Structure 1
Amino acid sequence: MHRRALIQAGVTTAAMALAPAVLAKPVADSGRIDDYRKLIGDGMARHRLTGASAILVQENAVVWAEGFGHADRENGIAMRPDTIVPIGSVTKTFTALALMQLRAEGRVDIDRPVRDFVPNLRIGTRGADFNRVTVRSVMTHTSGLPSDVFKNTGLESADYTNVVDLLNDTELAAWPQTIGLYSNIGYSLLGNVIRNVSGQAYPDYVRSRILRPMGMARSGFATEAGLPARARLYYQDGRPTPPLELRDQPAGGLYSSVEDLARYAIGLMKAWGGAPSPLIDPASVQAMFRLSNAHIAIETNKKGLGWFMFQRGGAFAMYHAGSTGFANAALLLLPQKRIAAAILVNSVGGDALASAFAFRVLEDYGLKTEDIRPSPHLPPVDPNATPVTLATEALAAHVGDYPRKRTFATITLDGDGLTLDEPDGRIRLRPLSDGSFQPLRKADGGQPQVVVGERYRFAEVGPYHVLFSQSDDDGEHQAGYRVVTAPLAESWRARAGRYDHFGYQIPGAEQILAAEINILQERLMQLQLVYNSGAFTYPMVVAGPRHAFTGGLGPETTGELVRFSEDGVLTYSGLTFRRSAG
């Protein structure tokens, strides 16, 4: 890949761009600002990005804001702190804030089922209690709703009000309030809650209740006629991208500038600190910024309400990143220190730079990226545990296939222990006195050796019998859940092969061209999705004569419905495929 030097034209400082009401009083550390400039410059060159803007808030006031590169290269328009760029999933924090406003007014109980507010929601439940799909669980991505439905994702095809019908044509991807499963379409469902309760369309509500009170005049949605001119978006080779507006406005449809994001961050942090605010009362924002998913046994991130959370001891930070595929954003708040940072990038591939900048600020002010990791739920490992003998029946309870996000693992009986077969090798599991299993791996044909610093443990999580890894280095992670695989029916065997996409196609940089159904070990099934950018594989758990679910338990795009029609059409996430003529 060719490296492209950072375009220096159009660097704009905060003093030139920001309104007097938010001009900086604190003095920034010039050395630290120089480090941020270098990080952004190096990242733009490395990832071949066209434009970026960044801002830093200290003591609830802007101390630095700058644009880099171009907002519109063809017309020589520089990137500035007031340049408008899509913020992607950072929009979800606005949706969560809107719900907390309605909660404070007594109009929404976030612990009530979503269908109390969207009565026409009738998604398949796979036997789960639908009442556990609460507003709160959707806000924390623990509702079990699918990550997305790809059908009609462009705004030209549908809008957020149509997602109810799309969800009604699929099923839950996980048992509610059991695992963390990121859901874009879930936040569009929350947009319907806001619409139904407030009587306002979602964009109108956000404009009147959040953007206007905060003076965010350079923020809004593409459907609003008054939204000022926006930055052009670019591929990494410098070509402008085609227009792309998303159906899921409550999940990722807002446009903003780093100046406006600073206003938003300052407003939230002031309210969190107890100051009167036109935005929200202190108790509500304090609830948003409180750990809200500690009870979820299978999670990868700490979360507040609408935000991801870094927390160590009493110190914390709130964070959200966003991407539309073409543009990227990150917003970080450290309310206790009255510090915030935001970055916007108008290019494909800018997500790495956005997160690198936000995480540098996070670490500069006392927290670490690993502070997002949830606390363990399993009993701690006893370093002095000794081997024990378990009854065969007890060991047999763990035997089966264990689908993960990308592949299967298989556990079988092995004398007085178990064998775990994974794609990268075989591990013997020896039961220990603390209830864990000690892994032993055979190397170079010799005797099995203990894998130091790692244990395995089984636990019941909702309806799932889950295999966990407990590692000194990586902490606690789920490693699949047990399924008892029935003999593969001939009707499923006959479905193996390649299926070419037809019908509605995903707009944007990545598109799915084909699906392949493969048979593994003569009894397991695998789905491979062929994108224009590469291929991704998913284990399939057969659930009926014509439908299956992709395997794994989060953190995204797992448990998704794969369905065959009577005439052999494969449907995945609303997209359709038919058997290749070749």
Structure 2
Amino acid sequence: MRRRTFVGGTIASALAALACSRGLAGNPAPNTQIERYRALIRKGIADHKLTGVSAALVRDGKLAWAEGFGLADRERGLPMTADTIVGIGSVTKTFTALALMQLHAQGQIDIDQPIAAYVPELHIGARGADLAQVTVRSIMNHTSGLPSDVFKNTGLETGDYTSVVGLLNETQLAAWPQTIGLYSNIGYSVLGNVIRNVSGQAYPDYVRARIMEPLGMARSGFVTDSALPPRTQLYYQDGRRTPPLELRDQPAGGMYSDVSDMARYAIAMMEAWRGSAGLPIDPASVQTMFRLSNADIRVETNKKGLGWFMFQAGDAFAMYHAGSTGFANAALLLLPQERIAAVILVNTVGGNVLANDFAFRVLEDGGLKTADIRPAPHLPSPSQDAVPTRLPLKVLDSHVGDYARKRTFASITRDGHDLLLKTPDGVLRLQSVSDGSFKPYVQTDHDHLQPVAGERYRFADVGPYHVLFVQSAEDGEYQAGYRIPPHPLDASWKARLGRYEHFGYQVPGAEQILAAQFDMVDGRLPRMQLVYNTGTYTYPLIVTSPDQAITGGLGPETTGETVRFMDEDGVVNYSGLTFRRVQAARNTTTERS
């Protein structure tokens, strides 16, 4: 993919190509390319047992292809078409970001101001951080430190986006602001409150009046819109219809659309980026949204613009967002330099795999790779000429301790002039070399050291975190845990170990949390195992007070979340869900895992 010369026109004329047709239209892509996409979709439907899929391709700034596959309503035999309306999930976040940029361009907000300037009722626990660093921009690019979510009252029948502020006030920051990339659904509902408080319009009303209607997106909207046309039915992979689910977090994932309307939106965003003036999109705003915004975040997993994920290689780039409502799935990809876009909607649980496969195929056809989303490294590159060196023991000892990862603990001890990294996968001997990194070795049964090819380890302080990084020739630079403060558990904590079963409000959707099991690793490090109907997920716990802990790890989601024990009732609260003690632990020690 390389920059193409823009051949005249405005947003209005670019969108006009969509007005006359909702099928094959505009300037078609080569038939062989379209057939490849059709074949990919048909194979994905068969492989993943999907009921209905619709997809569209924009080429040269015009709709080139839009088509439905399978069924929108299995029971009535209604086909999926380019008109079929599906929930787009988190792709909604791109509309929320655009709304904020409109208000920013009009001088009604400053996205670099603290969120408290626009939502003063937010009083989340700071955990020692400066809440002034929780800015509108930091929430837009998921570096604010706000929790990923609060599971309580996630359905629209029990709350809406305006109620999330009260839920957040019962918890605390999950990470140090502007330090860690931590994806936050609930943060975008806070942004919806910014739009509401500043504009005086409810979030759905603002997006409909200021974005959808000016773009002619007549078949898009929210479930609270009385004029929203009928939507697809939703299905499990075995063909059963799912129960109804409407999301509380409308600014994060509550929008409905069809692929033709989404193509209109894609064209408008790309042409605005190219400088075409026209409402409702200001070119300078889109150019800001389509610019790398998180290059200075040292613990990060993806390049991001504002409201979008970003693939970038040299001057070439693409913007991307995927979405899920819990049942439906969506993906939207823009390659503005090439005036190419792709959108896909799926009405079946498990459709996220096909959605990503389709979008990434278009990405690769445009000249980029999925690896281009990986952030640039911040640490010095390993030197191939580095030689073994001996560091002072006090330097080595400064790295010793327990390290929290997303799913488990690791520990580092000193053995002479080497460090030993112990993980569930085994033990690595880390030997210091002259470029400041550590070379990893596996010790064989015969005390022979076998080097781990293509990897180096480094330690770095990032904000308040002492982080262990891996530099991998294959996977790039990534964090492998951060050191936690020593916090010996007292008898009261050990007495809490055991199984707690869920009661009260349950998360709607395909996945539900049934129980929480608490035990200890190596007899000293607490952990929580959440038992879902789909499997069990393990989280290390970092004790922060006599009755609270947080889940370990540094991003990209569901880390740093609060676990609160209420001993008088034998109840534990996690992300707004409650669990009651039913069985004490038989012993307090488990193997490291």
CA contact 1:174–1:559 (8 Å) conserved in 2? yes
**Do 2:439 and 2:456's aligned partners in 1 also have CA atoms closer than 8 Å?**
yes
The aligned amino acid for 2:56 is I
Q: Is the 8 A contact 2:387 2:433 kept in 1?
A: yes
Query: Once the two structures are superposed, what CA deviation does each residue of 1:490-539 show, in whole Å capped at 9, x if it has no partner?
Result: 11111110000011000011100000001111110110000011100000
SS of match in other structure, 1:53: strand
Query: Which amino acid in structure 1 is aligned with residue 359 of structure 2?
Result: A
Aligned to 2:555: 554
Answer with 240-249 or 385-394: which moved more. 385-394
Q: What code does the residue aligned with 1:140 have?
A: N
**2:203 corresponds to:** 202
1:243 aligns with 2:235: no
Hey, what does 1:298 align to over in structure 2? 299
Q: Structure 2 CA distance, aligned partners of 1:484 and 1:300?
A: 25
Q: Give the counterpart letter for 1:443 in structure 2.
A: T
Cross-structure match for 1:525: 526
Match status 1:53 vs 2:54: yes
Quickly say closer, same or farther: Cα 1:271–1:301, change in 2 above 3 A: same
**In angstroms, what is the RMSD of aligned CA positions?**
1.4
For the residue of structure 1 that corresponds to 2:269, the secondary structure is helix
Aligned to 2:435: 434
What do residues 102-150 of structure 1 show as CA deviations (whole Å, max 9, x unaligned)? 0000001000000100000000010000000000000000000000000
Distance 1:487 1:119 in 2: 38
Q: After superposition, give the CA deviation of every residue in 1:164-187 in whole Å (9 maximum; x if it has no partner).
A: 000000000000000100000000
Q: Which amino acid aligns with 2:437?
A: S
1:571 aligns with 2:579: no
Counterpart position of 1:367: 368
**Equivalent-residue separation in structure 2 for 1:533 and 1:191 (angstroms):** 31
Structure 1 residue 581: Cα displacement: 5.4
Instruction: Establish whether residue 151 from structure 1 lines up as the match of residue 118 from structure 2.
Output: no
Q: 1:223, 1:344 → 2: CA distance?
A: 21
Output the amino acid matched with 1:489. D
1:270–1:277 Cα contact (<8 Å) kept: no
Instruction: List per-residue Cα deviations over 1:217-267 (Å, max 9, x = no partner).
Output: 110001111100000000000011111000000000000000000000001
* Contact kept? 1:51, 1:79, Cα under 8 Å: yes
Following superposition, the deviation at residue 35 of structure 1 comes to 0.5
Note the C-alpha offset of 1:22. 10
Q: Distance in 1 between matches of 2:561 and 2:443?
A: 36
How many angstroms does 1:364 deviate by? 0.6
Per-residue Cα deviation, 1:67-110 (whole angstroms, up to 9, x for no partner): 00000011111000011000000000000000000000000100
Matched residue, 2:93: 92
Secondary structure of the equivalent of 2:387?
A: coil
CA contact (8 A) 2:18 2:264 kept: no
Q: 1:66 to 1:32 in 2, by over 3 A?
A: same
Tell me what 2:80 maps to: 79
Report SS of the residue matched to 1:57: strand
- State the alpha-carbon separation in 2 of the partners of residues 99 and 486 from structure 1: 42
Letter in 2 for 1:312: A
TM-score by length of 1: 0.96
Shift of 1:24: 3.7
1:9 corresponds to: none
User: Equivalents in 2 of 1:86, 1:313: separation in Å?
Assistant: 34
Matched-pair contact (CA < 8 Å) for 1:301–1:374: yes
The residue type paired with residue 283 of structure 1 is: A
Residues 148, 182 of structure 2: 8 Å contact kept: yes
CA distance in 1, matches of 2:23, 2:337: 19
Confirm whether residue 401 of structure 1 aligns to residue 385 of structure 2.
no
Q: Kindly state the Cα deviation for residue 413 of structure 1 after the two structures are TM-superposed.
A: 0.8
> 1:299-318 residue pairs with structure 2 within 5 A?
299-318=300-319
SS in 1 for 2:413: strand
- Does residue 136 (structure 1) correspond to residue 140 (structure 2)? The answer is no
Question: Is this contact kept in 2: 1:144–1:172, CA < 8 A?
Answer: yes
Q: 5+ residue gaps in structure 2?
A: 1-15, 585-593
Secondary structure, counterpart of 2:214 in structure 1: coil
Measured against aligned partners, the alpha-carbon deviations of 1:457-502 in whole angstroms (never above 9, x if no partner) come to: 0000000000000011111010000113222211111111000001
Q: Is residue 232 from structure 1 mapped to residue 233 from structure 2 by the alignment?
A: yes
Q: How does 1:346-361 map to 2 (within 5 A)?
A: 346-361=347-362
| Counterpart position of 2:219 | 218
**2 CA distance for matches of 1:318 and 1:16?**
22
- Whether the 8 Å CA contact 2:28–2:64 is kept in 1: the answer is yes
Distance in 2, matches of 1:341 and 1:21, equals: 15
TM-score, normalising length: structure 2: 0.94
Q: How many residues align?
A: 568
Identity fraction in percent:
68
For residues 298 and 20 of structure 1, the distance between their equivalents in structure 2, rounded to whole angstroms, comes to 46
1:410 matched to 2:411: yes
Partner of 1:212, secondary structure, is helix
Match of 1:580 in 2: 582
Question: Does structure 1 residue 377 correspond to structure 2 residue 383?
Answer: no
1:260-315 deviation line (CA, Å, top 9, x unaligned): 00000001111111112212111110000000000000110000000000000000
Question: Equivalent residue of 1:268, what SS?
Answer: helix
Q: What is the alpha-carbon distance in structure 2 between the residues aligned to residue 497 and residue 485 of structure 1?
A: 23
Partner Cα separation in structure 2 for residue 218 and residue 238 of structure 1:
26
Which residue number in structure 2 is paired with residue 39 of structure 1? 40
- 1:349-408 residue CA offsets vs partner (Å, 9 max, x unmatched): 000000000000000111110000000000111111111111111111000000000000
> Deviation string for 1:15-39 (max 9, x for gaps)?
9996359984423110111110010
- Distance in 2 between residues matched to 1:57 and 1:81, nearest whole Å: 13
- Equivalent residue for 1:8? none
CA contact (8 A) 1:17 1:81 kept: no
1: CA distance, partners of 2:329 / 2:181: 23
Deviation at 1:452, TM superposition (A): 1.6
- Check the 8 A contact 1:17/1:82 in 2, yes or no: no
Contact 2:406-2:539 within 8 A present in 1 as well: yes
Q: Tell me by how many angstroms 1:155 deviates.
A: 0.3
State the alpha-carbon separation in 2 of the partners of residues 16 and 95 from structure 1.
Answer: 26
